[in-house]
């Protein structure tokens, strides 16, 4: 009888094992990363507006460069002067018996004849004005004609006034000259001088002057070329000239060529004109400011450049 419980225990069927738990398979890391990236990009595409093409169509907004150019002009203009070359007593040979052949007389200049106009800029607070030699060349004549120079300036308040300009130095080789006006230093705004070293073709530049007698005119362009050679008034070659497409016409000569920071990088000097038209062809030249900086102190102190002092 004792064997029956033992036999029932041995013959009892084994319990059924529980079914295995189904686990979510782990995806490979690369697939998981790609899926997360795709989801992030989709979210960004929905949240952000599509990118606008750069200046593809005007949308009514102001050009971001325009206020900068306006500010450059307003800050640089008080440093730019208008120069008139006046013939006080024309020699008798220039007039016929009936007065024919005489230049028109400007009543505003006390009956003097305006022989030419040009531009310049204030060099320092002592009243020195830098311009081109060919603008004031007649002041350096032999005295057979009585010329004088009138310089029109503007103070910091925008008030225009004029002063007599005296030629104190000139250098025909580089087409540079220095005038002196007697003005209190606090009424002068010397130009900000830059450097022509490191200029690059394509960078923006601006010419301010008085073309055809229109005072304080701004033209814009780029540096078109560097290291050009142009003729000087005495027949020599000015090397290293800056070429620009900023319009330069008669009356611009002697005015500053400035960069995007308002610094003078050159003195506007010459332009090639379309034959028979007198209109600028877009090929214009300026004397590099580094050349001007080397020459002007000698013109102020000695009246001539070092290279011409002992001729």
Is the pLDDT at 2 greater than 70? The verdict is: no
Split at pLDDT 50, 70, 90, the class of 18 is low
**Mean pLDDT throughout 166-170?**
94
**Mean pLDDT throughout 168-183?**
95
Specify the CATH number of the domain 201-306: 2.40.10.10
239-267 pLDDT per residue, tens: 999 999 999 888 899 999 999 999 999 99
Choose the catalytic residue: 134, 147, 224, 232: 134
pTM of the complete model: 0.71
pLDDT at position 5: 55
Task: Return mean pLDDT, the chain.
Answer: 78
**Mean pLDDT throughout 285-307?**
90
Is the pLDDT at 233 greater than 50? The verdict is: yes
Specify the CATH number of the domain 66-87+109-179: 2.40.10.10
Domain coordinates of the chain in residue numbers?
66-87+109-179, 201-306
**Mean pLDDT throughout 144-173?**
89
Residue 186 designated active-site: no
Choose the catalytic residue: 79, 119, 196, 253: 253
Residue 160 designated active-site: no
Split at pLDDT 50, 70, 90, the class of 213 is confident
Residue 156 designated active-site: no
**Mean pLDDT throughout 50-75?**
62
pLDDT at position 108: 59
pLDDT at position 52: 38
Choose the catalytic residue: 119, 147, 171, 175: 175
33-56 pLDDT per residue, tens: 555 554 444 334 333 344 333 333
Is the pLDDT at 195 greater than 80? The verdict is: yes
Dump the DSSP string for the chain.
-THHHHHHHHHSPPPPPPPPPP-PPPPPHHHHHHHHHHHHHHHHHHHSPPPPPTTSS--SPPPTTHHHHHHHHHHHGGGEEEEEEEEEE--GGGS-TTSTTPPPB-GGGTT-EEEEEEEEEE-STT-EEEE-HHHHGGGGS-SSSEEEEEEEEE-TTS-EEEEEEEEEEEETTTTEEEEE----GGG--PPPB--STT--TT-EEEEEE-GGG-SSEEEEEEEEEEEEEEE-TTS-EEEEEEEE-S---TT-TT-EEE-TTS-EEEEEEEEEE-TTT--EEEEEEEEEHHHHHHHHHHHHHHSS-GGGTT-
């Amino acid at each position: 009888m004792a064997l029956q419980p033992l036999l029932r225990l041995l013959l009892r069927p084994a319990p059924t094992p529980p079914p295995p738990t189904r686990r979510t398979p782990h995806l490979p890391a690369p697939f998981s990363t790609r899926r997360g990236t795709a989801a992030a990009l989709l979210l960004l595409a929905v949240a952000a507006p599509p990118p606008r093409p750069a200046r593809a169509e005007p949308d009514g907004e102001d050009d971001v460069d325009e206020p900068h150019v306006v500010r450059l002009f307003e800050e640089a203009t008080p440093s730019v002067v208008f120069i008139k070359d006046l013939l006080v007593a024309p020699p008798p040979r220039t007039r016929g018996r009936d007065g024919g052949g005489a230049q028109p007389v400007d009543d505003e200049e006390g009956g003097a004849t305006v022989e030419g106009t040009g531009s310049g800029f204030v060099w320092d607070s002592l009243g020195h004005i830098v311009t081109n030699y060919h603008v004031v060349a007649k002041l350096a004549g032999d005295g057979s004609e009585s010329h004088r120079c009138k310089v029109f300036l503007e103070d910091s308040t925008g008030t225009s006034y004029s002063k007599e300009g005296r030629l104190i130095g000139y250098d025909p080789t580089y087409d540079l000259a220095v005038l002196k006006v007697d003005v209190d230093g606090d009424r002068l705004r010397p130009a900000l001088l830059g450097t022509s070293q490191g200029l690059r073709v394509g960078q923006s530049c601006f010419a301010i002057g008085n073309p055809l007698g229109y005072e304080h005119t701004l033209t814009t362009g780029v540096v078109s070329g560097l290291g050009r050679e142009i003729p000087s008034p005495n027949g020599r070659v000015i090397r290293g000239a800056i070429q620009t497409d900023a319009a330069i016409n008669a009356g611009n000569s002697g005015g500053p060529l400035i960069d995007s920071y308002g610094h003078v990088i050159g003195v506007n000097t010459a332009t090639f004109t379309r034959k028979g038209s007198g209109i600028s062809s877009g090929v214009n030249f300026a004397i590099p400011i580094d050349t001007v900086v080397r020459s002007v102190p000698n013109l102020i102190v000695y009246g001539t450049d070092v290279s011409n002092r002992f001729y």
